[in-house]
Chains A and B, each alone.
Chain A
Amino acid sequence: MSLRDKFRLTGIAKHHQGWAWISLLSAAIILLPILSVFWHGLRPANENWAHIRRYMLWDCVLPTVWLTLGTGAAAAVLGGALAWLVAACDFPLRRLFRWALALPLAIPPYIAAYTYSNMLSYTGIVQQTLRSAGVRVNQAWFDIMSMPGAVFIFTMFLYPYVFLIVRAFLEKSGGGYVENARLLGRKGASLFFRVVLPISRPALAGGATLVVYETLSDYGVVNYFGIRTLTTAIFKTWFGLYDIESATRLGALFLAGIVGVVVLERLLRRRRRYSETTGRGSPLKPVRLRGAKAALATAACLAVLAVAFVIPVAQLVEWAGWTFESVAARSDFRRLAGNTVKASLIATAVIMVVSVIAANTVRMTRGGFGAALARLLTAGYSVPGPIIAIGVLSLFIALDRLLAQLYAGLGPGTAPLVLSLSLAMLIAGYAVRFMATGYSAAEAGFERIGMKYAEASRTLGAGLTRTFFAVDLPMIRGSLLGGAALTFVEIVKELPLTLLLRPFNFDTLATKAYQYAGDERIYQAAVPSLLIIGIGLASVFLFHQMAGGGRK
């Protein structure tokens, strides 16, 4: 049986294998960096490894596990509770909270981390206010640069992933179950724990998984707070010991752990299939709360919104006011913004083109091949940024070695490393990590229009390629633009990948903000941070529009 038969291309795709090959090639390029990390991890260890294993490994594995578990659980509880409150109850300002509670997503956790740690420091606004009121405080109360502090930061700024997914699920299909349970005499806590919690478990798990991926990928918060995790260990091995080999080994171990967790989660979920099979339910109608209960609900939402958005943004605005002249007016700030936009735009364009080609191939292809292709293309999302960075770097160095002959032929003065010092490396890293964002937008667009327009076009004599440009592309343009905007924002916010893969002296808003913060120049960090948050707000707004949240 030939390879072609195994793919089981349908009649439609059979004569247009160009599309299939482009998609396969893209999937391979995306997978290569991840596979290369595994490959290098299998090679014999060097002399540093014994030292790393003895003094670093366990010290960073346990905190990583605690941080991830703590954040995942806390974000699930907070996000789930807020989602239930907003979806099932009606209270003053509910319609505002429905979307406003997603706003913390606009603030990258590393920005929140240095904002809060400075606000809570001895000279920060909180302690100053308390002192001027004559209250003497114990410094230990305000120590946010700790494990609980990190869990707090991640939870407050990542819970919206859970909130959005669970809220959408409850609003769309929770109605039937909840109404039935009420008719059967359940209410209050019993209703919540016996019915709502079990039916929303897949949504809760989906949201919590995203929170976990983000937490694992973080470098900014944990490094600023001085918490040892696998990400900081990779950075330290890379830039402290200049030992990329051992850093790769750490990355491979880390990756093996993540793959293990993902497989475990799949296995566990397989047995819970029933919770998803019921399909479409009816929308949930909120119940009106009265008196003290209503006031309590409003107060709770207000408190979360204040802590997770209003207070840090207000503080950043104040600091930005002090330093605006000295930071934003400088000519290199314009270069910074230009760099950010340039790198993000190129990467977004690459991602969207590959996504559209691949999504079109997948929908033309039945059976395992399409599903596998989609899974491979989006694998990068669950891999922490630093690991992708290592994979991409080792790949580019290998490429440079391969091309060394060619460089030598170009002239004696040419550097031996060309590709691995260029912007191409950073773009490749972004593409691997954020392909999933663009791909799901393209996939959603194709799903919405279905196959019938493409089939009609085919029977009218247009081939696959003409069909794509004349029919499909104009019809999914909206989804693609939305997906491109989301991808762009994700890239603008990304810190660890950018820190590791940027060309020498290439700064973006994210790296500059982080560098200011690391140099204890928090006030200067406020201006680039606010710019990032502003771009992030646009994405939250877009997401809200695209998910149809604007209705109701």
Chain B
Amino acid sequence: MTHVVVEQITFNYPGTRTPVIRGMSLVMDKSEIVGVLGRSGSGKSTLLRLLAGLETPAAGRIAIGGRTVFGGGVFVPPEARGVGMVFQDYALFPHLTVARNIAFGLHRLPRAKRAERVRQMLDLARLEGLADRYPHELSGGQQQRVALARALAPGPELLLMDEPFSNLDAELRAAIREELRGILKRSGTTCLLVTHDRQDVSAICDRTILIGGDAAEEAAIALAGAAHR
């Protein structure tokens, strides 16, 4: 079942001529985890920002969960798109505790349900006992899980992850990849993950898209993807 549709989108930053993204298309099924692999500067982070509504494409159409969020005169602002995002450096609000960070996106829920949902998320991301800590009191891996829990809490139609492992050391990385795939599959989340590390996508993703690369690289990825399946 098609869940996310990106049709022929083009984007260039204001004041520049050459587009960062030109005529890109992409289709994702529900609960699918897709990896986007590319070098720095290939426009992969921009793709996430376009999907989230943090940037506006010059042309094209984007639909999420069967609803057009961009195109044909429609622009749905980020807060109304139902898209969750895990930022590269997590962007946890430093003045709020773990629990209040996770509850931030739940302001539309009644108070009792909100507490319940926060508890669920703490459970899911294995953050029990850390609810009252502040972000700077957490380890890198814990911070990453809080960011994930915060993004998942409102039950987004689509989760976007920007280089989710770049701030973790190699050892931690391997352990967390497995964990992440488990959490995403358990919650049935549709996820688009951007990375420059081939191992990330082969460990987590169902499918890989390469942008801005050459043919040889593409072939290697296809092989890696096949091996994973």
Contacts and interface: CB of A to CB of B under 8 A. Distances in A.
B150 A460 contact: yes
A12 interface: yes
Nearest to B77: A15
A467 to B, nearest CB: 8
Given A10-B56, A11-B56, A459 B84 contact: yes
Contact of A366 (B14, B80, B85, B108): B14
A470 B104 CA distance: 9
Contacts of A463: 77, 79
Interface string B143-174: 00000001100100000100000000000000
Interface string A469-513: 011001100000000000000000000000000000000000000
A12 B94 CA distance: 23
A474 B101 CA distance: 14
Nearest to A467: B79
A11 B79 contact: no
B206 interface: no
A8 B13 CA distance: 11
Given A367-B14, A462-B79, A11 B91 contact: no
Interface stretch (B23-31, B47-55, B180-188, B207-215): B47-55
Contacts of B79: 458-463
Interface stretch (A199-207, A225-233, A373-381, A448-456): A448-456
A8 B87 contact: no
B141 interface: no
Contacts of B91: 452-453, 455-456
B115 to A, nearest CB: 17
Given A367-B15, A461-B107, A471 B87 contact: no
Contacts of B150: 456, 460
B78 A12 contact: yes
A462 B52 contact: no
Interface string A123-137: 000000000000000
Given A453-B91, A474-B95, A460 B105 contact: yes
B85 A456 contact: yes
Contacts of B87: 452, 455-456
Contacts of B77: 11-12, 14-15, 458, 463
A457 interface: yes
B154 A453 contact: no
B75 interface: yes
B107 A14 contact: no
B83 interface: yes
Nearest to B103: A460
Interface in B46-67: 52-56
Contacts of B14: 8, 10, 366-367
B89 interface: yes
Interface in B97-140: 104-105, 107-108
Given A455-B78, A455-B91, A460 B84 contact: yes
Nearest to B94: A475
Contact of A458 (B13, B78, B107, B160): B78
A462 B107 contact: yes
A470 B79 CA distance: 14
B47 to A, nearest CB: 14
| Interface hub of A455, A466, A475 (most chain B Cβ within 10 A) | A455
Contacts of B94: 475
Question: Chain B binding site: helix, strand, loop or mixed by DSSP?
Answer: loop
A475 B108 CA distance: 23
Contacts of B104: 457, 460, 462, 470
A452 B49 CA distance: 11
A466 B56 CA distance: 21
Interface residues of B, number: 31
Contacts of B15: 366-367
A139 to B, nearest CB: 64
Contacts of A8: 14
A475 B75 CA distance: 29
A461 B105 contact: yes
B6 to A, nearest CB: 16
A165 B91 CA distance: 32
B130 to A, nearest CB: 19
B106 to A, nearest CB: 9
Nearest to A368: B15
B201 to A, nearest CB: 22
A226 to B, nearest CB: 53
Contact of B54 (A11, A462, A470): A11
B212 to A, nearest CB: 23
Interface in A1-24: 8, 10-12, 14-15
B20 to A, nearest CB: 14
B107 A10 contact: no
Given A455-B87, A460-B105, A471 B93 contact: yes
Nearest to A14: B75
Nearest to A459: B85
Contacts of B56: 10-11, 14
Contacts of A15: 75, 77
A402 B85 CA distance: 53
A213 B103 CA distance: 50
Contacts of A470: 104
B193 to A, nearest CB: 15
| Interface hub of A14, A367, A452, A459 (most chain B Cβ within 10 A) | A459
Contacts of A457: 93, 104
A63 B84 CA distance: 65
A26 to B, nearest CB: 24
Nearest to A477: B95
B153 to A, nearest CB: 8
Nearest to B57: A11
Contacts of B105: 460-462
Contacts of B81: 459
Contacts of A458: 52-54, 77-79
| Interface hub of B15, B77, B84, B150 (most chain A Cβ within 10 A) | B77
Contacts of A475: 93-95
15 contacts: A8-B14, A11-B78, A366-B14, A455-B54, A456-B91, A457-B93, A458-B78, A458-B79, A459-B78, A459-B81, A460-B154, A462-B79, A466-B107, A475-B93, A475-B95
The 5 closest A-B pairs by CB, nearest first: A460-B105, A11-B56, A458-B78, A456-B91, A452-B91
Given A12-B78, A366-B13, 15 more contacts: A10-B14, A10-B55, A12-B77, A15-B75, A15-B77, A452-B87, A455-B78, A455-B91, A458-B52, A459-B54, A459-B79, A459-B84, A461-B107, A461-B154, A466-B107
